[in-house]
Structure formats: structure tokens, C-alpha cells
Amino acid sequence: MKRVMFVCKKNSARSQMAEGFAKTLGQGKIAVTSSGLEASQVRPEAIATMKDAGIDISDQTSKALSEFKAEDFDAVISLCGCGVNLPPAWLTRDLFEDWQLDDPAEQPEIFPRVRDEVKERVEKLIQTLASEPAAV
């Protein structure tokens, strides 16, 4: 099973939504967590907009990337353009993508749009990872 790390600046919205979608849609296909360049708190708007989509992320917590080891993950997905700030070990995983999604924390009214973009990208990511042969 492929292991995925979603990372964002503060692990408060976009990466939390990605983790929620990936855990639900990728159940049994991928293992997933999220983190931030720094830890903060999961935004109430992220919890609410995910609840509107039928996914409960209220038990998720914000975690710092420094709590994890890059070698424990097959794929690293940056959701905010923060890939340029990641240590090199995180950029050289089997798969690295930088989705550069708008920050809904700056404009709370865009939470639903960003949530839907995250869902679409997570669905494609799961398809991609599920079709790759397992490492030996």
C-alpha cells in the first residue's frame, strides 16, 4: 500500500481536507497523513465544509512535518506551493507534486471551491497510485 504525505504551510485547511478525502476515498488503497511546515490548528471552516461533503475531519489534528521521516512515504503532495521550502529528502520521493491551490484561510468564501478541487485531485492521485506496481 502506497504511503502519502499531504503537506501545507500550517496543516490547517487544504492538507487537512486532502487527508480527509484520501482516507475516505482511498480506504484500503493508500495510507495517508498530513502535516505542515509548522503545526497550527484545523480551521473550523475546513471541518464545516468537509462535513457538507459528508466527511468528518473533526478528529484530525495539525502536525509538523518535522515529526515525520521522508523515507516513510512514497508520495508527497504539497497543496500550497510550499514545495520550494521542503527539505530535499521530501522532494525526492517516488512521487512529488505541488498542487498550488488557493488558500481559503485568506478568503473563507472559497472553502467549498477549494474543497472540490482537492477532492478531484485526490481522486486522480488515488487512481495513479493504485495503478502503480507495488515496490518489491
- 82 is an active site residue: no
What is the Cα–Cα distance from 113 to 71, expressed in whole angstroms? 33
What is the Cα–Cα distance from 45 to 108, expressed in whole angstroms? 7
Among 4, 5, 8, 50, the active-site one is 8
DSSP state for residue 64 in the 8-state scheme: B
Among 65, 80, 114, 125, the active-site one is 80
* Residue at 43: amino acid letter: R
Identify whether the C-beta of residue 57 lies closer than 8 Å to the C-beta of residue 45: no
Report the catalytic residues.
Answer: 8, 80
